[in-house]
Amino acid sequence: MKLTFITGNQHKVKEAKGIFDKFGIKLEHADLGYPEIQGDLVDVARYGAKDAAGRFGQPVIVEDAGIFIKSLKWFPGPYSSYVQETLGNKGILKLMSDVEDRYAEFRSVIGYCTPKAEPKTFLGTVKGRIGYKERGKHGFAYDPLFYPEGYDKSFGELTTQEKNDFSHRRQSLEQFAHWYKEL
């Protein structure tokens, strides 16, 4: 059975393919777009998966992800795309220049849906902290800001393979993969 990841983000596709290799799941990619409703990551992934599966006519996954910063009252969260495009990493660092509590987490919600069934969602989280400057050239978007718990390297300093060992995306996709293989 074919499974297609509907996303406009090539970095996500690369990471997801690396993760699914371990589970023997072959992944296709289509940049079909889908409406992103107002709401939390689960709402966005659920609605997006249902919409995309209906239009694509085949089983799909979509992902809504974001970075949640405790001292900013969990901002940007669901607004992570908008904030990345407007404030960017430098803007986040500026907001946090005097902030001591650097705790943050990345969250990923995978939404799976077929044209006929109701959507299912799978959450993955990784804990860490926001650095004081951008570090590293790997990864994308917020990666150079984020130091996973127990590491002195940012996600931007890890290879895709290293990030894939324990990232938020690894955890959401792994949960999905276990469930999917039971189908």
Q: Which residue blocks in 36-115 are alpha helix, DSSP H? A: 41-56, 80-86, 88-95
Q: Give Cβ neighbours of residue 172 (< 8 Å, ≥ 6 apart).
A: 63, 108, 109, 110, 122, 123, 124
Query: Which DSSP letter does residue 134 get?
Result: -
Per-residue H/E/C for 130-147:
ECCCCCCCCCCCCHHHEE
How many residues contact ligand ITT, by CB under 6 A?
A: 19
Residue 101 annotated in active site: no
Q: Which is nearer to ligand ITT, 165 or 181 (CB)?
A: 165
From residue 48 to residue 87, what is the string marking binding to Na ion with x (rule CB under 5 A)?
Answer: ---------------------------------x------
Q: Which of 84, 89, 164, 172 binds ligand ITT (CB under 6 A)?
A: 84
40, 35, 38: which is closest to 50 by C-alpha? 35
Window contacting ligand ITT (CB under 6 A); options: 20-28, 64-72, 92-100, 174-182: 64-72
5-24 positions binding ligand ITT, by CB under 6 A: 7-9, 12
Torsion 141-127-23-80 (CA) sign: negative
Q: Given the rule CB under 6 A, which residues bind ligand ITT?
A: 7-9, 12, 63-66, 80-81, 84, 106, 139-143, 155, 169
User: Residues annotated as binding site for substrate?
Assistant: 7-12, 65, 140-143, 163, 168-169
Catalytic residues, by residue number, are 64
